Structures are given as structure tokens and as C-alpha cells.
Amino acid sequence: MDKIKVVIIDEHAFFRAGVRQILSQQPDLEVLECDPTQDGLEFIEATLPDVALLGSDLASLSGIELGRTIAQHYPNTKVIVLSPDPDDEVLFEVIKTAAAACLSKGASADDLANTIRRTCKGEYPINESLMTSPKVAKRVLNEFRGVTKTMEGLAAPLTSRETQILAYIAEGNSNKEIARILDISEQTIKNHVSAILRKLNANDRAHAVALALRNGWITPANF
């Protein structure tokens, strides 16, 4: 079985080495390092990893832009942001980069490895963070204020099946997982997701989830 190729991009050599040592113990992971003397995008281009662990300080525009650029130009490379303090402000900035997940730099080895595997399968664990952070969901919506105002108070423009699929997306499930749960083809799920994004005029899955939460079309238990 092919290993999941993971690249660690961080300015701290000690942190990179530690993460590499821990993850290299996982038999299904191949781990590479990228230090600040290397161009992160060139390294991604040269290695084409499945997952990029971005540990750069998100207070730096370069860190935010790097994650966004990787997500936009290398869609087959999933981005996981590792933050020293993943509070609501950090989560909001990470969501805007279209990263697949955001974890604390203090996360356990098992949590990090499992998140890597999930994102590699096409899941978006960051949606789970959005579900448990109402303030962040509202801020995401404020980024798209015009769309929100035109849709407020309206019935969901989605079919019952699309609403069901969006709820599964909000839980962090990949298209493949949703197809398995609903016992329909993955291509059918992809078609539904495309329709959801088009109908909601959503930029991505996280934006669609935020719109659905705001309008009450899907309701997490803690809202």
C-alpha cells in the first residue's frame, strides 16, 4: 500500500524534527521537512505531498497566504494548520485559507496522525470546529454579508437530500463516507455538493455549512 506523503513546513527546526520523528513511527506515513531557507511552494511542487502540515505563525501574512496558495493551486495537497493557540481568531483565519483542518501544536501524535489520514481521504475536520464555534460561524458569514442578507428568513433553497448531505458535510465527512452512509455513488454525492455550492453561492464547503447554520437549515446540538 502506498504511504501518505506528508510535508512539514515550519520555521522551527526543533518542532519539525519532533513531528517528523513522531509521525515516522506510523507505518503508513512518509514524512518530509521544509525549512525557512526553502521556498514552500517550490517544495510542494517538487514533492507533491498528500498533506502539508503548516506550522507557521498565523500572525504572519506569509503563513496565511502560504496555506491559501497551497489550497488553491495544489488541490490534491490537503493543508492542516498547526497553531500554538488555535482560538476563535486563529480558526477564523484558517477557515479563510480553505485548509482541511486546524490543530493545536500540542495535539497528541494519535490525533495528528488520524487527522492526516482523514484529510487524505477527503474529509474536512475543520467543519467540526466550525460546528462548535458559533462566533466563528457568524464571522464566516459576515465575510459574505451580501449573500447572507438576501437569504435570511427564506426557506432552504435545498432539497431534503441536499440538506441531509450538507449535514453530513458539517460533521466532517468526505464525499466517499457520505456515499457509503447513504448507499449511493460517490459521483452522485459530488453532483449534490456542486449543486449545494451553486444554490447557496458558497465559496466552499465551510461557507455552505456556515450559511446553513445561520439560517437554521442544519442545527448542531450545542446551538
CATH value at residue 188:
3.40.50.2300
* Domain co-membership, 10 together with 115: yes
* Domain co-membership, 18 together with 96: yes
* Domain co-membership, 92 together with 156: no
Q: Note the pLDDT tens digit of each residue in 27-36.
A: 999 999 987 6
* Domain co-membership, 69 together with 175: no
Q: Alpha helices, DSSP H only, in 105-174?
A: 109-120, 126-131, 134-142, 145-151, 160-170
**pTM (two decimals):** 0.66
Distance CA 32, CA 6 (A): 6
Segment among 57-61, 66-70, 145-149, 207-211 with least mean pLDDT: 145-149
- Band (pLDDT 50/70/90 cuts) for residue 153 is very low
* Domain co-membership, 106 together with 188: no
* Domain co-membership, 198 together with 99: no
Better-predicted residue by pLDDT, 61 or 157: 157
Last residue of a domain, one of 65, 90, 120: 120
In a domain, 70, yes or no: yes
Better-predicted residue by pLDDT, 156 or 84: 84
Last residue of a domain, one of 120, 149, 167: 120
